[in-house]
Amino acid sequence: MSRARGIEKPMAFWIIQTLNGLSFSMMLFLVAAGFTLIFGLMKIINIAHGSFYLLSAYIGLTVLRATDNFLLATIASSIAVVLVGIAMQSLFLRRFYMKELQQVLLTFGFVLIIADVCLWIWGGNPMALPKPSLLRGSIWIGNVVFPSYRLFVIFVGVVIAVGLWIFQEKTKFGAIVRAGVDDEEMLRGSGINIQVVFVGVFGLGALLAGIGGMIGGPFVGVFPGVDVSMLLLALVVVIIGGVGSLRGAFVGSLFVGLVDNFGKALFPELSLFTLFAPMAIVLAIRPTGIFGKIEE
């Protein structure tokens, strides 16, 4: 039980908040996973990562309004975002291999471009994606009501997490990515076409962030500025969880999602402090993050 404004919080409050936190975490995981892979493999700080979320949610919204088909909207927005991501990497970022500063500045340019195009087309009013009609209800478990959609988000997040794990551990491409994150020089010397790997990972990152945008659209919403907010959370996740580690992104997202959610519910003004402190502590004790690799 806790007290806020003299009102005791019932058990149901905590359960709902945990559920909300977990669903937020799963959506955040989608965004952070791509970000951490892109940084871990290519050392690119993709400031435009939140822009993938933004663009995907807006495009999805439009398709959704036209077709009322959530799946179709997700496919359409994913394709769009992946194309943008692939273009970004292969046409622009690729030219500055190993020049991280220029790459970051380029991604910033894209943030401005994408954000303004979205503002131009969709305007500045905050919007929320309508939930898929199947998932608009709630489920009763015991005497607590769970919104179906939130459960769906958690389900999707876990499924994708497992899928990514299988990809990373069991497939050849995944092994290449893992090796590259660990030791890029080794990858370069191995004869594998490194540019293909880079484009693939960048596209994958964009895809994940795009799906995150669709999934998060109904409860986080989409509005100018959500790109920066998502980026900030992804940064905190990756620093706490460790760079280049999917496990770290998962654990970090759980932590950040829950803390952020409870923070917003209990002390809305100081919620960022509750994220800042753990981040600072992790940086002080283990600078590479909980699951990051240690550099000599």
Residue 53 CB, nearest approach to another protein (Å) = 16
Could you please report the per-residue DSSP string of 143-185? TEEEEHHHHHHHHHHHHHHHHHHHHHHHSHHHHHHHHHHH-HH
5 secondary structure, DSSP code: T
Do residues 48 and 110 lie in contact, with contact meaning Cβ atoms separated by under 8 Å?
yes
Residue 78 CB, nearest approach to another protein (Å) = 23
Q: Which CB sits closer to another protein, 159 or 270?
A: 270
Coil, strand or helix at 140: strand
Residue 185 CB, nearest approach to another protein (Å) = 14
Dihedral pair phi/psi, residue 143, rounded to 5°: -110, 25
Residue 167 CB, nearest approach to another protein (Å) = 24
Question: In the chain, what is the greatest distance between 2 CA atoms, to the nearest angstrom?
Answer: 66
CA–CA separation, 120 vs 118, rounded Å?
5
CA–CA separation, 241 vs 31, rounded Å?
14
Residue 288 CB, nearest approach to another protein (Å) = 8
Residue 240 CB, nearest approach to another protein (Å) = 10
CA–CA separation, 233 vs 235, rounded Å?
5
Q: Which CB sits closer to another protein, 8 or 269?
A: 269
Q: Interface residues with another protein (CB under 8 A)?
A: 39, 43-45, 47, 92, 95-96, 99-102, 104-106, 108-113, 115-117, 119-120, 228-229, 231-232, 235-236, 238-239, 243, 268-273, 275-276, 279-280, 283-284, 287-288, 295
Closest CA to 53 of 20, 72, 29, 23: 29
Residue 145 CB, nearest approach to another protein (Å) = 29
Q: Which CB sits closer to another protein, 4 or 66?
A: 4
Q: Which CB sits closer to another protein, 108 or 146?
A: 108
CA–CA separation, 239 vs 139, rounded Å?
36
The interaxial angle of helices 172-182 and 194-216, nearest 10 deg, is 100
* One-letter amino acid of 216: G
Q: Which CB sits closer to another protein, 27 or 156?
A: 27
Q: Which CB sits closer to another protein, 160 or 236?
A: 236
Q: Which CB sits closer to another protein, 24 or 110?
A: 110
